[in-house]
Amino acid sequence: MKKRILSGLRPTGKVHIGNYFGALSNWVKFQKEYECFFEVADWHVLTTDIEHTDIMQQQIIETVKDWLAVGIDPEKAVVFVQSGVKEHAEFHLLLSMLVSVPRLQRNPTLKEQIRDLGKEEEKISYGHLGYPVLQTADILLYKPEKVPVGEDQLPHLELSRELARRFNTLFGETFPVPEPILSYAPRVPGIDGRKMSKSLNNAIFLSDTEQEVESKIRKAFTDPKKIRLGDPGHPDGCVVFAYHNLVNKEEVPDIRKNCESGKLGCVECKKNCAFEMNEFLNPIRERRKNLSDDFIREILKQGTEKAKEFASNTMREVREKMNLWR
Ligand code: SF4
């Protein structure tokens, strides 16, 4: 019997290379080893953006096209839409009774998000404060033994583990306490050197054209002290060097040596980087071209039905254990 894992991403419409190297590339590998549930976390988008629901459906489709184009296989994994499984909302409500407000306010990722959004803490919504509880519902409904996480998400998983234990203590053994799978997730900077993010307008997307990639890399942040060919450079901290590390690994030692000695100039280095990035993205673009909206809708319909079957069994058990009206 394969162990089960659950992981999800927000449907931002366009998946960027940070999402790919941080999560999706691992998901593709996990499919061989685990029974996988991959969630399109559309309700999570609403916790930070409630004003653009009109574009959500198309964003879901575009996101899942990218997932399939990089190798997520709906024959091997259940790919589903969170809002299509209403049990997530019901369980979220019940779990929210098991956690205190100060416990949620201590969430370090929430503080980081508030800072990135430029919001004041007292102005965030009730839904935003409680998103780690929704995330816990997303996880526990599928009773996974493992959850893949980056180091920055460990505090969320810790809350999910606490809530699983709390539920089991109050109502009887029901949920496995999920263990993290800490997978390698390199920090992928945006072209301006900040964290890569669609909202910061600094991302390279899997669906970008060759010209878009070239233009973005041409503008990317490099060592500010290296102005012309011959100047010795410092590749650590250079965005272009970080991209070489992702898509052009074999040449990294030479790039470092030639950058530091001044033999390699930034113009040439960026050109090479754009070429390698496009070589990496070309097969993904090719596969994406052949995925129609209707095909994606059908994949999501089937995946969401499978997820719903699993989640409704869990909720039946939860209602029984909690002695709720049924
Ligand atoms: S030569 Fe390449 S690695 Fe060195 S600073 Fe310029 S772009 Fe960065």
Q: Which domains does the chain have, with CATH numbers?
A: 4-188+293-321 (3.40.50.620), 208-287 (1.10.240.10)
Cβ 243 under 6 angstroms from ligand 1 = no
| pLDDT mean over 123-136 | 93
Ligand 1 center–CA 205 separation, angstroms: 22
pLDDT band at 115 (very low <50, low <70, confident <90, very high): confident
Compare 106 and 322 and report the one with higher pLDDT. 322
Compare 68 and 22 and report the one with higher pLDDT. 68
Indicate which atom in ligand 1 lies nearest the CA of residue 258.
1
Ligand 1 atom 6 nearest Cα: 266
Dihedral pair phi/psi, residue 43, rounded to 5°: -65, -30
| Cα torsion 130, 134, 136, 140: sign | positive
Ligand 1 atom 7 nearest Cα: 266
Testing ligand 1's pocket by substitution, the residue of 234, 266, 277 carrying the most ligand atoms inside 8 A of its CB is 266
Q: Is the distance from CB of 92 to CB of 133 less than 8 angstroms?
A: yes
Residue 201: partners with Cβ closer than 8 Å, 6 or more residues away: none
Query: Which pLDDT score, from 0 to 100, does residue 70 have?
Result: 98
Ligand 1 center–CA 223 separation, angstroms: 7
pLDDT band at 123 (very low <50, low <70, confident <90, very high): confident
Ligand 1 center–CA 234 separation, angstroms: 7
The mean pLDDT of the chain is 94
pLDDT digits (tens, 9 = 90+) for 181-239: 987 778 899 999 998 988 889 999 999 999 999 999 999 999 999 988 889 999 998 99
Q: Picking from 137-141, 184-188, 202-206, 275-279, which range would have the lowest pLDDT averaged per residue?
A: 184-188
Ligand 1 center–CA 233 separation, angstroms: 6
| pLDDT mean over 46-63 | 93
Q: Picking from 29-38, 110-119, 259-268, 310-319, which range would have the lowest pLDDT averaged per residue?
A: 110-119
Dihedral pair phi/psi, residue 52, rounded to 5°: -125, 40
Query: Which pLDDT score, from 0 to 100, does residue 49 have?
Result: 85
Burial (Cβ within 10 Å: 0-12, 13-18, ≥19) of residue 208: buried
CA-closest candidate to residue 309, choices 117, 84, 106, 102: 84
Query: Which pLDDT score, from 0 to 100, does residue 13 have?
Result: 86
Tell me how far apart the alpha carbons of residues 46 and 155 are, in angstroms, rounded to a whole number.
21
Cβ 233 under 6 angstroms from ligand 1 = yes
Helices (H), ranges, 96-238: 101-105, 108-117, 126-129, 131-140, 154-171, 210-218
| pLDDT mean over 20-25 | 94
Compare 231 and 92 and report the one with higher pLDDT. 92
Cβ 273 under 6 angstroms from ligand 1 = no
Percentage of the chain lying above the pLDDT 90 cut: 82
Ligand 1 center–CA 251 separation, angstroms: 13
Query: Which pLDDT score, from 0 to 100, does residue 290 have?
Result: 95
Cβ 269 under 6 angstroms from ligand 1 = yes
Testing ligand 1's pocket by substitution, the residue of 222, 227, 244, 247 carrying the most ligand atoms inside 8 A of its CB is 222
pTM of the predicted protein model: 0.92
Cβ 240 under 6 angstroms from ligand 1 = yes
Q: Pairing state of beta strands 179-182 and 146-149?
A: parallel
Is the pLDDT reported for residue 147 higher than 80? Answer: yes
